[in-house]
């Protein structure tokens, strides 16, 4: 059944510097092993989304290098990078059906070959959307819309998946369901996954490695279990304590 095959790519950010106009300067150094699952955590405004946007190519660094799967992608536009990204919401085109939104992952003009159509059907089945192919996004639940975004990621067959708080607009049950689905796809396909999240439960359930971002830089990286069991850096414990107090 599985026409979707993919494996992960390693990722390296070497002395990446970046600043938004008028904003503070940020600097990122990071090495991620192929097929790792990485949670990116840190205070609001610390730079988690910016880090993902730099990897995806939506923002360009002032200096430094980004290497994915051994290829220097620093100067490549987003669509030429071996990366897919899912945002918190607004991942879909409102005027296109589920099947068309997924099909865009294969061809921006929706000129699909037989093989493309088969891949779209596979991805729709994999994400539990069979029977909903002709619906428009407005006729879907929030969780189903995120599944469509995930199905599109699957047909793109990129070895790196970036998730920017993809469950933040979903209730806890749907968020868990979506996380389980991503975990299952990861087990099957081994893509490298980086996920920005504020939720330690998501990090614990899904990630092997935790990256802690503070003040525009990565201040710590290590095994998720170690960080979440209170054996990480003191700053991370303070962040978790403050985060839990807010909830």
Ligand X SMILES: Nc1ncnc2c1ncn2[C@@H]1O[C@H](COP(=O)(O)OP(=O)(O)OP(=O)(O)O)[C@@H](O)[C@H]1O
Contacting positions for ligand X (CB under 6 A):
20, 23, 42, 44-50
| CA–CA gap between residue 124 and residue 151 (Å, rounded) | 6
Do 202 and 195 touch, CB atoms closer than 8 A? yes
Which of 129, 185, 118 is closest to 154 using CA atoms?
185
Closest distance to ligand X from the beta carbon of 20 (Å): 3
Closest distance to ligand X from the beta carbon of 45 (Å): 4
Q: Which is nearer to ligand X, 45 or 131 (CB)?
A: 45
Closest distance to ligand X from the beta carbon of 39 (Å): 13
Q: Which is nearer to ligand X, 47 or 61 (CB)?
A: 47
Q: Which is nearer to ligand X, 18 or 206 (CB)?
A: 18
Q: How is residue 227 annotated by DSSP? A: I
The answer to whether the Cα torsion of 25, 31, 37, 42 is positive or negative is: negative
- How far from the centroid of its chain's Cα atoms is residue 17's Cα? 21
Residue 206 φ/ψ region, left for φ over 0, alpha for ψ in the -120 to 50 degree band, beta for the rest: alpha
Q: Which is nearer to ligand X, 168 or 183 (CB)?
A: 168
Closest distance to ligand X from the beta carbon of 219 (Å): 13
Could you give the 3-state DSSP secondary structure of residue 67?
A: strand
Closest distance to ligand X from the beta carbon of 135 (Å): 30
Q: Which is nearer to ligand X, 49 or 189 (CB)?
A: 49
């Amino acid at each position: 059944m599985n026409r979707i095959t993919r494996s992960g790519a390693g990722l390296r950010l070497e002395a990446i510097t970046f600043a938004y106009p008028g904003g503070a300067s940020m600097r990122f150094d990071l090495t991620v092993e192929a097929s790792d699952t990485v949670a990116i955590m840190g205070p609001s405004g610390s730079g988690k989304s910016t880090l993902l946007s730099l990897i995806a190519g939506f923002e360009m660094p002032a200096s430094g290098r980004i290497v994915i799967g051994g290829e220097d992608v620093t100067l490549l536009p987003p669509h030429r990078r071996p990366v897919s990204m899912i945002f918190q919401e607004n991942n879909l085109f409102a005027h296109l059906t589920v099947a068309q939104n997924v099909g865009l992952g294969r061809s921006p003009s929706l000129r699909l070959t037989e093989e493309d159509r088969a891949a779209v059907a596979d991805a729709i089945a994999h994400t539990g959307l069979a029977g909903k192919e002709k619906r428009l996004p407005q006729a879907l639940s929030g969780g189903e819309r995120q599944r469509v975004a995930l199905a599109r990621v699957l047909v793109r067959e990129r070895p790196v998946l970036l998730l920017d708080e993809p469950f933040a607009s979903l209730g806890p049950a749907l968020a868990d369901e979506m996380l389980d689905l991503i975990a299952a796809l990861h087990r099957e396909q081994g893509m490298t996954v980086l996920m920005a999240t504020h939720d330690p439960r998501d990090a614990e359930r899904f990630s092997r490695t935790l990256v802690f971002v503070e003040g525009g830089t990565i201040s710590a990286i290590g095994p998720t279990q170690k960080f979440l069991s209170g054996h990480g850096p003191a700053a991370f414990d303070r962040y978790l304590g403050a985060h839990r107090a807010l909830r």
